[in-house]
């Protein structure tokens, strides 16, 4: 199975700050990488698909990049609703696997 | 409006089985695959498997073969997951999530259903 390592596991940040979350795969995944957001009430929604494509309805302050084994999610200017958990997920090979998550907290 | 309405929380005895549902509305059920994902307490997300209702085909994470059984009823636009021989390790929140066929992204998720295994 492909292991997905996310860093950091938690990140205190301030409103308006630019933040980057990293995701490293245990082997190359050819950009087959999605990002999801989970709110404290458990609601999950997709943010980015295929490394850098913004899901419909997601604000443009979210962006994704990467290649090979290393990927990242950037939020350009934090809004109150962005404080949540973030997960990367690879779909290069089965089983689909997720990162362990990054909790974005208010500083 | 696209909605995936999952069945309620369950309290079940060790060794028993539980079958949960995910009722889809607001879209054509057979145009999408349905994934199931496990979230153990305080943990991340774990993919269980996928069913394509159009062709009634399933794909499982090897870890969950023999534990989870995925089915779908096209007449009621409902996907089901049955978990068998439950242990405390199966206590978790379970999500269904749809994927537009061939896109590899889970673009809508259910609200989650909690399963607690306890005597």
Sheet with A19-25: list strands edge to edge.
A4-7, A19-25, A70-75, A62-67
Residues (pLDDT < 70) of chain B are none
CB B10 within 8 A of CB B114: yes
Q: Give pLDDT tens digits for A2-61.
A: 999 999 999 999 999 999 999 999 999 999 999 999 999 999 999 999 999 999 999 999
> Residue A73 is encoded by which pair of tokens?
């999610």
Q: Which residues of A23-35 are buried (b: 16+ CB within 10 A; e: fewer)?
A: bbbeeebebbbbb
Q: Give pLDDT tens digits for B51-85.
A: 999 999 999 999 999 999 999 999 999 999 999 99
Residue whose structure tokens are 């995910």: B22
Site from A85, A95, A99 to mutate, B interface, most B CB atoms within 10 angstroms: A95
The residues near B45 (Cβ < 8 Å, ≥ 6 apart) are: A36, A87, A89, A98, A101, B37, B38, B39, B95
Please tell me the distance in Å from B97's CA to the nearest CA on chain A. Answer: 9
Residues linked to residue A85 through DSSP beta bridges, in sequence order: A38, A103
Interface of A with B (CB under 8 A): 32, 34, 36, 42-46, 49-50, 55, 87, 89, 91, 94-101
Q: How many inter-chain contacts (A to B, CB under 8 Å) are there? A: 48
Instruction: Report the 10 Å Cβ neighbour count for A46.
Output: 22
Please tell me the distance in Å from B16's CA to the nearest CA on chain A. Answer: 26
């Amino acid at each position: 199975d492909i292991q997905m390592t996310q860093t950091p596991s938690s990140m205190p940040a301030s409103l308006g700050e630019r933040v980057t979350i990293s995701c490293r795969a245990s082997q190359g995944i050819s950009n087959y990488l999605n990002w999801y957001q989970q709110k404290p009430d458990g609601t999950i929604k997709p943010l980015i698909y295929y490394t850098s494509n913004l899901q419909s309805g997601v604000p443009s302050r979210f962006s994704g990049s990467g290649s090979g084994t290393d990927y990242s999610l950037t939020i350009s200017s934090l809004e109150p609703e962005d404080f949540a958990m973030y997960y990367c997920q690879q779909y290069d090979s089965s089983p689909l696997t997720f990162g362990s998550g990054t909790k974005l907290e208010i500083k | 409006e696209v909605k995936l309405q999952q069945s309620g929380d369950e309290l079940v005895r060790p060794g028993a089985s539980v079958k949960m549902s995910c009722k889809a509305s607001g879209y054509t059920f057979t145009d999408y695959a349905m994934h199931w994902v496990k979230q153990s307490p305080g943990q991340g997300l774990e993919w269980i498997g996928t069913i394509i209702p159009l062709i009634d085909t399933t794909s499982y994470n090897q870890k969950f073969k023999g534990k989870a059984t995925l089915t779908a009823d096209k007449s009621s636009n409902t996907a089901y997951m049955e978990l068998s021989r439950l242990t405390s390790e199966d206590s978790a929140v379970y999500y269904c999530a749809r994927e537009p066929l061939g896109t590899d992204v889970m673009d809508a998720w259910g609200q989650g259903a909690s399963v607690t295994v306890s005597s």
